[in-house]
Structure 1
Amino acid sequence: MRNVGNVISAMIEYYAGDVRRINHFLKVYGFAKAIGEMEKLSPLKQEILEVASVVHDIGIKNSEIKYNSSAGNYQQIEGPPVAEEMLKKLGYEDNFIKRVCFLIAHHHTYTDIDNYDYQILVEADFLVNIDEDQLSMDVVRSVKEKIFRTEVGIKYLNVLYNIDNIGI
Structure 2
Amino acid sequence: MDSSDSSYYSRQQLDELFLQMIAFFSGDPKRIQHFMKVHSFARIIGTKEGLDETSLFILEAAAYTHDIGIRPAEEKYGRCDGKLQEQEGPIVAQRMLSDVGIENYLIDRICYLIGHHHTYDNIEGLDYQILVEADFLVNLYEDDVNRHGIEQAYQQIFRTQTGKEIFNQMYTDER
Q: TM-score range by the shorter chain?
A: over 0.9
- Report how far residue 152 of structure 1 moved: 0.3
Partner of 1:139: 149
Counterpart check, 1:85 vs 2:95: yes
Partner of 2:169: 159
Letter in 1 for 2:79: S
- Report how far residue 146 of structure 1 moved: 0.7
- Report how far residue 42 of structure 1 moved: 0.5
Partner of 1:98: 108
- Report how far residue 162 of structure 1 moved: 1.4
Partner of 1:50: 60
Counterpart check, 1:30 vs 2:40: yes
Tell me if structure 2 keeps the 8 A contact 1:25–1:57.
yes
- Report how far residue 137 of structure 1 moved: 1.1
Distance 1:143 1:15 in 2: 28
- Report how far residue 3 of structure 1 moved: 2.1
- Report how far residue 112 of structure 1 moved: 0.7
Counterpart check, 1:123 vs 2:133: yes
Tell me if structure 1 keeps the 8 A contact 2:83–2:118.
yes
Distance 1:4 1:35 in 2: 17
Listed as ranges, the gaps of 5+ residues in structure 2 are 1-8
Counterpart check, 1:108 vs 2:118: yes
- Report how far residue 31 of structure 1 moved: 0.2
Letter in 1 for 2:54: L
TM-score (norm 1): 0.95
Tell me if structure 1 keeps the 8 A contact 2:68–2:89.
yes
Q: Which runs of 4+ in 1 moved over 4 A?
A: none
- Report how far residue 163 of structure 1 moved: 5.6
Partner of 2:23: 13
Percent of pairs identical after alignment?
44
TM-score (norm 2): 0.92
Figure out how many residues of one structure are paired with residues of the other and give that number: 164
SS in 2 for 1:106: coil
Counterpart check, 1:72 vs 2:82: yes
